[in-house]
Amino acid sequence: MSKLQRIDKILSNMGYGSRKNIKKIMKKGRVTINGDIVKDSSKKIDPYYNKIEIDGILIEYREYIYLMMNKPDGVVSSTDDPINNTVIDLIDDKYKIFEPFPIGRLDKDTEGLLILSNDGKLAHNLLSPKKHVKKTYYVEVEGRVDSGDIEKFNDGVILEDGYKTMAAEMDIIENDDISKVYLTIKEGKFHQVKRMFVAIGKKVLYLKRVSMGNIELDKSLETGEYRELKEEEINLLIE
Ligand code: URA
């Protein structure tokens, strides 16, 4: 589908300066479209089908970026915060210019998979309560969990505000004074996992998201690290 946009808008959205600056650069004949110098910054082109170069350097056009981060403890999942460091503070300027935002929040002390993107449609699809996108968490819990707890989560538990959760699946990895489990939920209420454990009389000591929809956290990412999603991962998320 053809999408005509002003050249100054395209370049400024991609971080090549303000529209005023782009106008100046273009006036100087530094921008070519399909090899021809274009001086009119208001000219409309389809950035997907036209070759844009500045000073002979090809501009690789893209509208959306998709990042996978292994969120560390101690940073908040928002775009700005007056007190805390945010996940956006952790990413490179070359991505910041696309104005990505976290798709779904993790608590300040929760680690693990966070998708950052500027694709509002994807955000809607992943976060809409109607879509029931699965999220799996690795959880360390104080005390022993048992098959009764698995059943309780499967039936849905009543949170302290009276809300009954949807069926959730718990797999026990280790059962000890500190138990280790995977919990998969299909909704995303505030502090949901922690509150679900409170509902069965237990306390979460450590929480890490390991998957969201069809995407798994890349195990090679250390906490605080991130990478772009691969084409096939983006397709998995979108499908
Ligand atoms: N549930 C929680 O309690 N916290 C999170 O960060 C994510 C899910």
Residue of higher predicted confidence among 36 and 15: 36
98 has pLDDT over 60:
yes
Task: State the sign of the Cα–Cα–Cα–Cα dihedral 155, 156, 157, 158.
Answer: negative
At 237, the pLDDT band (50, 70, 90 cuts) reads: confident
DSSP letters, the chain, are ----EEHHHHHHHTTS--HHHHHHHHHTT-EEETTEE---TT-EE-TTTS-EEETTEEP---S--EEEEEEPTT-BSSS--SSS-BGGGGS-HHHHTT--EEES---TT-EEEEEEES-HHHHHHHH-TTT---EEEEEEEEB---HHHHHHHHH--B-TTSPBPPP-EEEEEE-SSEEEEEEEES---TTHHHHHHHHTT-EEEEEEEEEETTEE--TTPPTT-EEEPPHHHHHHHH-
pLDDT, one tens digit per residue, over 132-159 is 999 999 999 999 999 999 999 999 999 9
* Averaged pLDDT for residues 94-114: 94
Is 107 tagged catalytic?
A: yes
Catalytic residue among 46, 80, 92, 107: 107
pLDDT for 121 = 93
Determine which residue's CA is closest to atom 2 belonging to ligand 1: 191
Q: How far apart are CA 44 and CA 208, in angstroms?
A: 46
pLDDT band at 80 (very low <50, low <70, confident <90, very high): very high
Does residue 191's CB lie within 6 angstroms of at least one atom of ligand 1? yes
Q: Is the Cβ atom of 199 under 6 angstroms away from ligand 1?
A: no
Q: Ligand 1: does its nearest atom lie under 6 Å from the Cβ of 180? A: no
Q: Is 102 exposed, middle or buried (0-12, 13-18, 19+ CB in 10 A)?
A: buried
Residue 3 confidence (pLDDT): 80
**CB-based burial of residue 3 (10 Å sphere; 0-12 exposed, 13-18 middle, 19+ buried)?**
exposed
Percent of the chain having pLDDT more than 70? 99
* Whether residue 123 has pLDDT greater than 90: yes
Q: What are the structural domains, with CATH classification, of the chain?
A: 5-58 (3.10.290.10), 66-129+217-238 (3.30.70.580), 135-212 (3.30.70.1560)
Q: How many residues does the chain have?
A: 239
pLDDT at 1: 52
pLDDT tier at 63 (50, 70, 90 boundaries)?
confident
For the cut 90, the answer to whether the pLDDT of residue 46 exceeds it is yes
Per-residue confidence band for 25, with pLDDT thresholds at 50, 70 and 90:
very high
Q: What does the pLDDT look like over 167-211, one tens digit per residue? A: 999 999 999 999 999 999 999 999 999 999 999 999 999 999 999
Q: What is the pLDDT of residue 2?
A: 59
- Number of Cβ within 10 Å of residue 134's Cβ equals 15
What's the pLDDT score for residue 13? 86
